[in-house]
Chains A and B, each alone.
Chain A
Amino acid sequence: AQSVTQLDSHVSVSEGTPVLLRCNYSSSYSPSLFWYVQHPNKGLQLLLKYTSAATLVKGINGFEAEFKKSETSFHLTKPSAHMSDAAEYFCVVSDDGGNQFYFGTGTSLTVIP
């Protein structure tokens, strides 16, 4: 069975410092992994996705994530946080058929000016 664990429910960083949002997954096969961002009172927007083409995935707004099979991790990073990055972030794994998606519980990112 597939599942996702987001290790931190809240992360606070100062503007201009690096961001690290952690995600570990459980999957019985080679997974499809996604990061979504949800700004306050908005819908979910795709940041990036892992499709097995490359282990380091670059997304929008300067975010990237690295797929590490040995660690079953897909952590999201950004070198320098911006105030506009304050949002809820969801790590997602999909099933083998690509029909069902399993969401993590979300990480709320606060950026301190």
Chain B
Amino acid sequence: DTAVSQTPKYLVTQMGNDKSIKCEQNLGHDTMYWYKQDSKKFLKIMFSYNNKELIINETVPNRFSPKSPDKAHLNLHINSLELGDSAVYFCASIASGGSYNEQFFGPGTRLTVL
């Protein structure tokens, strides 16, 4: 009964490939996020969706395309992978409607681009 789950946990691929990471939450939350954590542990927000609508879109290459088929899922598709895309990607969710609500994080997907 994992609250926020991500698949796959590890992803190793060649430069130039296209790959997807999936995220699902069973908490009934309205808002979901994708973060990128680099090798120095710095967490950078990429996208946020609220009820399937994009609400935050930081400066991210358009090779990254999020998709939210329903409010429990937020997937991340990456085209033409580059070496610099290697990182750990975290999905998170939050119940909207309160500024004191905390985010719940998935276990992360470690992407390695060779």
Residue numbers of A with Cβ under 8 A of B are 32, 34, 36, 38, 41-46, 49, 51-52, 88, 90, 94-101, 103, 105-106, 108
Q: Is the CB of B107 within 8 A of A43?
A: yes
| Interface check B80, CB cutoff 8 A | no
| Interface check B45, CB cutoff 8 A | yes
Q: Is the CB of A51 within 8 A of B100?
A: yes
B1-60 CB contacts (< 8 Å) to partner A: 4, 31, 33, 40-43, 45, 48, 50, 55-56
Q: Is the CB of B99 within 8 A of A106?
A: no
Q: How many A-B residue pairs have CB under 8 A?
A: 61
Total interface residues on B, using CB and 8 Å? 28
Q: Is the CB of A42 within 8 A of B107?
A: yes
Question: Given contacts A88-B41, A103-B43, A106-B41, is CB(A97)–CB(B106) below 8 Å?
Answer: no
Q: Is the CB of B94 within 8 A of A98?
A: yes
Residues of A within 8 A of B107 (CB): 42-43
Closest A residue to B110 using CB positions: A41
Question: Given contacts A43-B90, A43-B106, A43-B107, is CB(A98)–CB(B41) below 8 Å?
Answer: no
Question: Given contacts A98-B100, A98-B101, is CB(A43)–CB(B108) below 8 Å?
Answer: yes
CA of A97 to CA of B33 in the docked complex: distance in angstroms? Answer: 15
